Structure 1
């Protein structure tokens, strides 16, 4: 039976997508089975912004982006001080090492097979416990890759980097809370089916909130492509966009047969948000939206005119009684 992308696919393949994009620059993509490649292509078709789903992004494009990113991050230094090409190559190699590290901890195809066999017996917790025990090694893999990124981050990005690392750690910890109870419950309560049924809506939510951060495909070869790349920060704008994506996604997941999947997804967002400084920015944005709605709301009808009309009708009703008196 053909597998369709599910919550498990998204969770496990997210790391692969990230690492593949970087390892591609190094020309050292790890071996991935055809079923996983097909899932990646299908996920991309549904979740990437319009224009990227069938874009022919070359190795040269990726290398140019990486070099431009490193050059921009070090533009304040004297010319010739930093070799942006060498820094980009180091990140490409770190991407390949990340893929090898993660691949050594968890093989996507094997995990999916184990989940499929364990589900009828109610042994999902055993599967996730096995892999969640490897969480410290996974964090170490990500830390090593993050260290390679540092020379190509701007000052503002570096100031946000520790926060981004904590958020990534918290996301992994959420997935492995009580050795994977949350993800096991998600699967048991038809979470993958819910996500599958809602994926078109989620893609719309994603494109509405985040597609503006990516340069257009036709701009990838431009000279000023570095100026088009978003900074890896979690500022007020990103916080509000993340909140909007959460609200939009949860709203669609709530339409599934059971409420548990949407509750778990919402809990994940909130769990991660606690590590950020996002709440004040979100509160301000929501207050501004409420004020804007109040200003544009239609004015209520003239109550004075309504009251006079009511009195007139009442007088006509009472007039015969008054005449009898």
Structure 2
């Protein structure tokens, strides 16, 4: 389930950031989608699914304009008013959840039977993730911004990419990912978590690393992976 979610999320984020990616990257997203749909006997649904992904991007942009949000954050920092900014955006979480649920319904034609059966689980997991981020009207994300979280992620971007590359070792296609057992998927997730948290802990403040670790723990608890002692 992790890897199906990663595939769909990659496609969606590619659409969301369409204005930032190269033509080669757009082609790569489309080829991935075609491969996945063809594998599940739904090659004729590619255009339909692409439209749902594009609609998701439009839906997201209607809720959050990246440039506007960036300006609001910069204006709020000197005033110590970040909590007000994120309270406003977290009030839109019902619309955000609707965007995601609509996306999941839109990509269903290309999913295999197992993935379709897990749509409800996926929707519930994303709802919980949004609730985690918007806990107490966005206090967590406000603290993350105030404690130089984005700067930390930018500083460690190459390290994080290396973490992602490392867990993809031996996985060269969708079929390879689907062959992973649940235990192997969970191990990959734990490996990725440990690698990213370690990289972020090297930043000047511990908050980004701590919050990333809390988020990963939350995601894991919502997954089918065996519970770990914390």
TM-score over 0.5 (shorter chain):
yes
**2:147 counterpart residue number:** 189
**1:180 counterpart residue number:** 138
Q: What is the CA distance between 1:273 and its match in structure 2?
A: 1.3
Task: Note if 1:73 corresponds to 2:32.
Answer: no
Gaps of 5+ in 2: 1-7
Q: What is the CA distance between 1:154 and its match in structure 2?
A: 1.2
Q: What is the CA distance between 1:17 and its match in structure 2?
A: 6.9
The question of whether the paired residues in 2 share the 8 Å contact of 1:160 and 1:233 is answered with no
User: In structure 2, how many angstroms separate the alpha carbons of the residues matched to 1:174 and 1:232?
Assistant: 31
Task: Note if 1:275 corresponds to 2:222.
Answer: yes
TM-score by length of 2: 0.82
Q: What is the CA distance between 1:186 and its match in structure 2?
A: 1.1
1:69-100 deviations in Å (ceiling 9; x for gaps) = 223223xxxxxxxx622x11110111111111
Task: Note if 1:84 corresponds to 2:43.
Answer: yes
User: In structure 2, how many angstroms separate the alpha carbons of the residues matched to 1:240 and 1:186?
Assistant: 27
Q: How many equivalent pairs are there?
A: 222
2:206 to 247, 253, 259: 259
**1:167 counterpart residue number:** 125
Deviation >6 Å, runs of 4+: none
User: After the TM superposition, which of the residue ranges 138-147 and 165-174 deviates more from structure 2?
Assistant: 165-174
The question of whether the paired residues in 2 share the 8 Å contact of 1:157 and 1:233 is answered with no
Q: What is the CA distance between 1:255 and its match in structure 2?
A: 2.3
Task: Note if 1:242 corresponds to 2:189.
Answer: yes
Q: What is the CA distance between 1:117 and its match in structure 2?
A: 0.6
User: In structure 2, how many angstroms separate the alpha carbons of the residues matched to 1:122 and 1:197?
Assistant: 24
TM-score by length of 1: 0.60
The question of whether the paired residues in 1 share the 8 Å contact of 2:83 and 2:138 is answered with yes
Q: What is the CA distance between 1:197 and its match in structure 2?
A: 2.7
Q: What is the CA distance between 1:109 and its match in structure 2?
A: 0.6
Equivalent residues in 2 for 1:114-263, closer than 5 Å: 114-210=72-168, 212-215=170-173, 227=175, 230-231=177-178, 235-263=182-210
The question of whether the paired residues in 1 share the 8 Å contact of 2:14 and 2:26 is answered with no
